[in-house]
Structure 1
């Protein structure tokens, strides 16, 4: 029979599906759409209702499959493509989402949701000007929607228009005062305004917190762990991929004592990359809850009977706080992801230090301040490709002013951070340093719609555009850009964090202004922790004087530059192990207040926890030597990367990379890496013997090594040179395997 015979029945099922979806009865909606499909297989509405319901039930993968079929059947249906783009966004496939949404807009540019989703995709991909243009198109169609207004305000913020952004955010909040995403966007934007006080932020955080639980609702009582097992530590985050937080999360997980602590990591975002894989390897339990229905998430986390749960997002997108408001662990704290008070009674502690939050900052928080001894997190560079930390390209170089003949100030930053205060201070520094330049690396500076408004703002502040070097941000230049900068001029009120660590590790001093609130003091904490507290300034005038003083003596600046990395790598900021021991002591005290935490046995000595088990150092050394002997390049890189997550610099890694470079005929790089290995592993005579041979091969002077051997061992150079060249096993300090000895 023809479909027209069943048209009334199909129409009835589709109306029922629409009504069920509106009533949030998503499973009923799916069943009714499936009933309609029994009578008409090729109706795009049945696919859309099923996909929408699966998305609402937290199953984007299922929705993706449905919409892939729908796109094949209905290639010219714009609504199908809009939904497909949204699902791809939810799955973290932003480039694919962009292509699908562009196709939808070509088919029908009148769909406001298509423009809104397209804007979100471009925003995530850091095309902020494109995102602003797209959301404007959505507002032309739907001008009063508070969500669109809030997203438009976000794009204004990211392109540096903070005052305009705040005005639009407040308009959105007035239209939807109980919408948490809208309200939290206002809170976050307030941090970029120099007029915002710590009290302002606390009040707005409390207003956001009040929206977390419906009026009259209460968190369910917890069942505390009853056994004597390890401390159960949970981490809840939306950013477990190549994100700024990874530079602190990975060394933390790799250096935790897993005999004392059992780690549960909960991912709110389905996006996965090589960083996600590393995090999975250093946690006993990695639970992807991105497809879990929101109302199921609190119970799922409670089932783990955690002792401690860490919020790692605050009021950023897809906030963990909306779940932690229900009290999911006896102790809950906030760390890294958001630089301020949550205002939420259910968060017990905020992990800080004495510089980000000195005495008196208790008044700006609803949480107790848990102050780390020196710095509130440990940083490791190049967490996505840690072996590059040994590469020549990433070693500090002489300050570029020696070659350029002028000082190049610089900043690698999001445009949103370039505030009026920042421009005032930059203008004064440049005015007092004639001939100097200012290098800015920001997303989109290769495009006129991004670059020209920035230069106009700078001109209004008195900065001549001829003195500004604009460079578009590229991931591969994250550290290399600092070879072109003499002094970093930090931003304010939102200061550098990960990028301040990047600069210092590359040897570049960072001048920063420490304001009142926590988010204004992050970089000041970082420079203080590496022994450069004088670069953390408390007035604008001091900021300018400090930058000018550094620039005035290029020889002294160069000497500082060539010593900063050593200072950094000897500092608490680089010492994840000590930070983790302190943190373990704190959470052991918490758990000990209601149970006796236990511990599991592990073999004696140091090692690395990865892939669910403990790997002793001796086992790791054997694996490295075996892969070296076998010429297994990929296997060697895998083992060395696992080592590097715990020890950012280790003699074994430098030695193995040296051997690899030597086999490839790169004697110069091999020698540099061998020197680094010997520096990291003092008093290894086999290593020094090999180093002597390599120095001879490269025609390098041996005087420094000869003096060291005499002072450390009382040995003459000739004695060591008379010894045979050591084998890999002798250098590693392990017995040769029987088959190797026989060969």
Structure 2
């Protein structure tokens, strides 16, 4: 009896929908029972219901071997495979279950779900007709059949079925998704709103309305409808997840996170909610939590590309460059997988070389459509006024904004018409300046590649300048379909070649891409005579203070770059510098350091590289004005490598802090080289790690010289090509004209 009691308690808990409580009793039953096979099967089923597929799968595989007369283990394995997007494997498990038990209803339903997901509603219906004969009173099967029937009808007739499903109030969110998708939002919304008026407490109406509002681009309205659906449904996990998704779309990540966490708990078998929860934690710079969520999801769902891609970014953000690249390389060698690899590879101390990056970029480009040069409807007059489009998600307070706005504002408007194609709404002060400077402003919603390109083509830009690359919010791969006769890459994840065959030019300068660099780019190099960017400092930048070492009596080094850029090689160089400069300290300041576990990892990594953690100050994020003011506590900035600072270098120099840079081979490795040259400080650029260490040590030996340089550095920067907007605007216009003339010669 003692052996039987735990199993009975477990079965009762399972029957009452309490799988978590059943786990210890099932484990006890496996250990103590004379025939533990059924306990093992039920434990696998309970774990699968909890989304813990990594632990469930081996138990179910064992049950399939030991209980060959049962279809259930194969059915459960099929569901796990389907959730892991292993469709052929899922189909095989469902077929095996039906071979064991030809009338296994849920395996028929499982196959029907695969057919529905593949867009084959007729095939799904045939399977459901069989299932309905076997289980004529199963309401879920009946509703599923109706949903598939709707997918086989013309839209208006299908909508009537979908509305009837919603009015029924059963069947869950898939019926709401169907009703919201059959007709254009303008036609669907009145019908859905009428249904909600007739059944005000049926939350599925509000949920469907929210989906249609989101499809129409009315995300704020969708959030309001989802809040109502959440209230009416008593916090249904699917509603919480959708609400979290929409809040994340609005970049309200603090609000989104608890909703996504609730969805992940309530629907642990849904990989989408668990993935989005990880992404939102990443946005909140809670990198350790993000990493834990994504690693658990990969254990359960397997190496899904989205999960691997996000985990690679989280690892990189913690400064684990080697783990990040290894994770990115687990992704398939398709466009998305290689783009993810290009997102982390430039930070890697060895694989971040120009040659290695070019190889990855070319592999990506080989998978994209080859470019064509269709006739341009406005003709190819080489000297006429040009329509130049700029494509970005970051027309705002972002490195893209600070490094491009002044140059775009300074373009000669009698020669160039400016069009801004915005991929994301932005409302801050820089966004307003971008909006004001554009002759034409287009807000582009989330579109697939072909539709995005068509939307841009409708405005007929002569030249399209991409400001996103393969980074967050970037759509550079879509431009393989060619949205303009001339396409140029500039700023925005500009770390290396894009590999996109239709990207004609890379906007650069002779320091970013010195002679001999051409082999590392699939684009032609469109070189500006000075720097490749024009820095626009914020009006709230505080005054430059005196050199801190004068009052403190010791040197304070600083690096305000993100942790992804701080490699073990850089840490070892910094250790050598601090060890040679008595009493010196190092200040690290970036978002990731607000995360306690990430901070501990960074300090442990520093110690392993010979850098005493007691000499390091770590600080998390602060408002931008406070970040700039923090440079008044820094005597000398140490640039990371191989990925150098871009905007960070500009800000340090503007705040009177010189920086020691190590010139790399890649575009990412030479940002500071460009900026230092343009402000007249080429002697702060080094070409080897020993030279980098020696230059920093030498600078510390002459504190009066450091103080004098600091006192005049802002004026030097302001007078330099780095901030000369009229000069930059003229240079940019000339470069774009040069690219256009060459296109005209091609006919």
TM-score normalized by structure 1?
0.72
- Does residue 304 (structure 1) correspond to residue 435 (structure 2)? The answer is no
- Structure 1 residue 145 corresponds to structure 2 residue 304: yes
Equivalent in the alignment of 1:94: 253
For residue 722 of structure 2, give the secondary structure of its aligned residue in structure 1.
helix
Structure 2 distance, partners of 1:123, 1:495, is 22
The equivalent of 1:230 in structure 2 is: 385
Structure-2 change in CA distance of 1:193 and 1:19 (3 Å): farther
Q: 1:193 to 1:8 in 2, by over 3 A?
A: closer
1:192 corresponds to: 347
Which whole-Å CA distance do the structure 2 matches of 1:123 and 1:35 have between them? 41
Q: Deviations over 1:370-393 (max 9, x none)?
A: 1110100100111xxx2x24xxxx
The residue that corresponds to 1:684 in the other structure is: none
- Asked whether the 8 Å contact 1:307–1:330 carries over to 2, the reply is yes
Query: Which residues of 2 match residues 401-416 of structure 1 at below 5 A?
Result: 401-416=549-564
Query: Which sits farther off after the overlay, 43-52 or 457-466?
Result: 43-52
Counterpart of 1:182?
A: 337
Of 466, 485, 492, the match for 2:634 = 485
Q: Secondary structure at the match of 1:445?
A: helix
SS at structure 2 position matched to 1:232: strand
Q: Displacement, 1:292?
A: 4.1
What corresponds to 2:69 in structure 1? none
Q: Which has the higher contact order (CA 8 A, sep 6+)?
A: 1
Q: Secondary structure at the match of 1:511?
A: strand
Q: What is the match of residue 491 of structure 2?
A: 336
- Counterpart CA distance in 1 for 2:669 and 2:157 is 50
Deviations 1:159-198 (A, max 9, x none): 11111112221112xxx222x2322111221111121232
Q: 1:112: Cα distance to partner?
A: 3.5
Alpha-carbon distance change, 29 to 261 in structure 1, aligned in 2, over 3 angstroms: farther
1:39-50 mapped onto 2 (5 Å cutoff): 39-40=168-169, 43-49=172-178
1:475 paired residue among 599, 617, 623: 623
- Mapped to 1, the partners of 2:591 and 2:490 lie a distance apart of 27
Matched, 1:12 2:165: no
Q: Does 1:242 align with 2:394?
A: no
Matching residue of 1:276: 431
User: Is 1:495–2:644 an aligned residue pair?
Assistant: yes
Inter-CA distance 262–183: structure 2 relative to 1 (3 Å threshold): same
Corresponding residue for 1:532? 681
- How far apart are the structure 2 equivalents of 1:375 and 1:276? 23
The match for 2:417 among 240, 262, 272 is 262
Local SS of the residue matching 1:574: coil
Of residues 716, 720, 724 in structure 2, which corresponds to 1:567? 716
Question: Is the CA contact (8 Å cut-off) linking 2:329 and 2:337 kept in structure 1?
Answer: no
Give the superposition deviation at 1:474.
1.2
- Please, which of 437, 440, 459 is the counterpart of residue 285 of structure 1? 440
Q: Provide closer, same or farther for how the CA distance between residues 271 and 96 of structure 1 changes in structure 2, counting only shifts above 3 A.
A: farther
Task: Please give the alpha-carbon distance, in whole angstroms, between the structure 1 residues aligned to 2:721 and 2:561.
Answer: 25
Does residue 170 (structure 1) correspond to residue 312 (structure 2)? The answer is no
Task: Deviation per CA, 1:39-78: give whole Å up to 9, x if none.
Answer: 4499533334456876996847376565445324323211
Shift in Å, 1:226: 4.3
Mean Cα deviation higher: 442-451 or 456-465: 442-451
- State whether structure 2 residue 241 is matched by structure 1 residue 82: yes
Structure 1 residues 112 and 592, CA, compared in 2 at 3 Å: closer, same or farther? closer
Secondary structure of 2:451's partner? Answer: helix
Query: Which residue is 2:547 aligned to?
Result: 399
Deviations 1:228-257 (A, max 9, x none): 873100011122232111102221222122
SS at match of 2:481: coil
Question: What's the offset of the Cα at 1:31?
Answer: 7.4
Separation in 2, partners of 1:490, 1:193: 15
- Structure 2 residue 263 is matched with structure 1 residue 115: no
What's the secondary structure of 1:512's corresponding residue? Answer: strand
Q: Does 1:202 align with 2:358?
A: yes
Where in structure 2 are the equivalents of 1:709-728 lying within 5 Å? Answer: none
Q: Superposed, which structure 2 residues align to 1:544-559 within 5 Å?
A: 544-559=693-708
How far off is 1:355 after superposition? 0.7
Q: Indicate how the Cα distance of structure 1 residues 549 and 195 shifts in structure 2: closer, same or farther if over 3 A, else same.
A: same
**Higher mean displacement: 489-498 or 187-196:** 187-196
Q: CA deviation at 1:133?
A: 2.1
Query: Per the alignment, do residues 347 and 594 of structure 1 end up closer, same or farther by CA in structure 2, a change over 3 Å counting?
Result: closer
CA–CA separation in structure 1 for the residues paired with 2:736 and 2:617? 48
CA contact under 8 A between 1:94 and 1:125: conserved in structure 2? yes
Match of 1:221 in 2: 374
Do structure 1's residue 441 and structure 2's residue 589 form an aligned pair? yes
Are the aligned partners of 1:51 and 1:67 in contact in 2 as well (CA < 8 Å)?
Answer: no
CA distance in structure 2 between the partners assigned to 1:464 and 1:353 by the alignment: 39
The answer on whether the counterparts of 2:214 and 2:222 sit within 8 Å (CA) in structure 1 is no
Q: 1:101 to 1:308 in 2, by over 3 A?
A: same
Give the count of matched residue pairs: 574
Name whichever of 189-198 and 531-540 sits farther off: 189-198
Deviations 1:413-437 (A, max 9, x none): 1111110221121011111101100
Equivalent residues in 2 for 1:556-705, closer than 5 Å: 556-591=705-740
State the secondary structure of the residue aligned to 2:390.
Answer: strand
Secondary structure of 1:234 counterpart: strand
Where in structure 2 are the equivalents of 1:7-86 lying within 5 Å? Answer: 10-16=143-149, 33-34=162-163, 36-40=165-169, 43-49=172-178, 59=217, 61=219, 64=223, 67-86=226-245
Is residue 60–residue 291 contact of structure 1 (8 Å, CA) maintained in 2? no
Is 1:424 matched up with 2:572?
yes
Give the C-alpha shift of residue 462 in structure 1.
0.5
* SS at 1:482 equivalent: helix
Q: Within 2, Cα distance between the matches of 1:19 and 1:144?
A: 34
Tell me, in whole angstroms, the C-alpha distance in 1 between the residues paired with 2:150 and 2:311.
32
In the other structure, the counterpart of 1:700 is none
Q: Offset at 1:343?
A: 1.6
Q: TM-score, normalised by structure 2?
A: 0.72
Paired residue for 1:370?
Answer: 526
Displacement of 1:483? 0.7
SS of structure 2 residue aligned to 1:395: coil
Do the aligned partners of 2:373 and 2:485 also contact (CA within 8 Å) in 1?
A: no
SS in 1 for 2:347: coil
Aligned-partner Cα distance in 2 for 1:286–1:556: 48
User: Residue 498 of structure 2 aligns to a residue in which SS?
Assistant: coil
Deviation of the 1:456 alpha carbon: 0.6
* Change in 2 beyond 3 A, CA 1:182/1:503: same
Following superposition, the deviation at residue 398 of structure 1 comes to: 1.0
Counterpart contact for 1:377–1:573, Cα < 8 Å: yes
CA shift digits 1:532-555 (9 cap, x unpaired): 001111111111111111111111
